[in-house]
Homo-oligomer: A and B are copies of this chain.
Amino acid sequence: VTGSAGSGPRPGPADPPVAALGEDGLVASVVARFPGGPGLLVGPGDDAAVLAGAGPVVVSTDTLVEGHDFRQEWSSAYDVGVKTAAQNFADIAAMGGRPTALLVSLALPAGLPGSWAVGLADGLADECARAGAVMAGGDVSEAAEIVVTGTALGSLAGAPVLRSGAGAGDVVALAGVVGPSAAGWALLAAASAGSAPTDAVPTDAVPTDAVLTDPVLADLVDAHRRPAPPYPAGPRAALAGATAMIDTSDGLLRDAARIAAASGVTLDLSRTALTPGADLVAAARVLGVDPLDWVLTGGEDHALLACFPPTVALPPGFRVIGRVLAGAGEVLVDGAPRPGSAGWTHF
Report which A residues bind B (CB closer than 8 A).
1, 3, 18-19, 21-24, 26, 41-42, 46-65, 67-69, 90-92, 94-95, 97, 101, 103-107, 110, 136-145, 147, 149, 151-154, 156, 160, 162-164, 245-247, 262, 345-347
Contacts and interface: CB of A to CB of B under 8 A. Distances in A.
B21 A347 contact: yes
A23 to B, nearest CB: 4
A234 to B, nearest CB: 9
Given A48-B94, A61-B138, 10 more contacts: A3-B144, A46-B162, A48-B154, A51-B56, A51-B58, A59-B101, A60-B103, A61-B139, A67-B144, A105-B105
Given A60-B47, A60-B49, A65 B141 contact: yes
B145 A347 contact: no
A151 B154 contact: no
A18 B245 CA distance: 29
Nearest to A246: B47
Contacts of A140: 346-347
Nearest to A69: B141
Contacts of A67: 144
A23 B142 CA distance: 26
A61 B283 CA distance: 41
Enumerate the 5 nearest inter-chain pairs by beta-carbon distance, A residue then B residue, closest first.
A48-B60, A47-B94, A151-B151, A149-B149, A23-B346
Contacts of A162: 42, 46
B65 A58 contact: no
Contacts of A56: 41, 50-53
A277 to B, nearest CB: 26
A160 B58 CA distance: 21
A59 B147 contact: no
Contact of A59 (B22, B97, B136, B160): B136
A17 to B, nearest CB: 9
Contacts of A347: 18-19, 21-23, 26, 110, 140, 142
Contact of A61 (B24, B92, B149): B149
Contacts of A154: 48
Nearest to A52: B56
A59 B153 contact: yes
B147 A107 contact: yes
Contacts of A247: 47
A137 B61 contact: yes
A195 B195 CA distance: 59
Given A47-B163, A53-B55, A58-B49, A68 B151 contact: no
B47 A95 contact: yes
B61 A143 contact: no
A60 to B, nearest CB: 4
5 contacts: A24-B345, A41-B160, A53-B53, A59-B153, A65-B142
Contacts of A164: 46
B137 A50 contact: no
A36 to B, nearest CB: 15
Contacts of A41: 56, 160
| A1, A41, A50, A153 interface centre (most CB from chain B within 10 Å) | A50
A142 B91 CA distance: 20
A138 B150 CA distance: 11
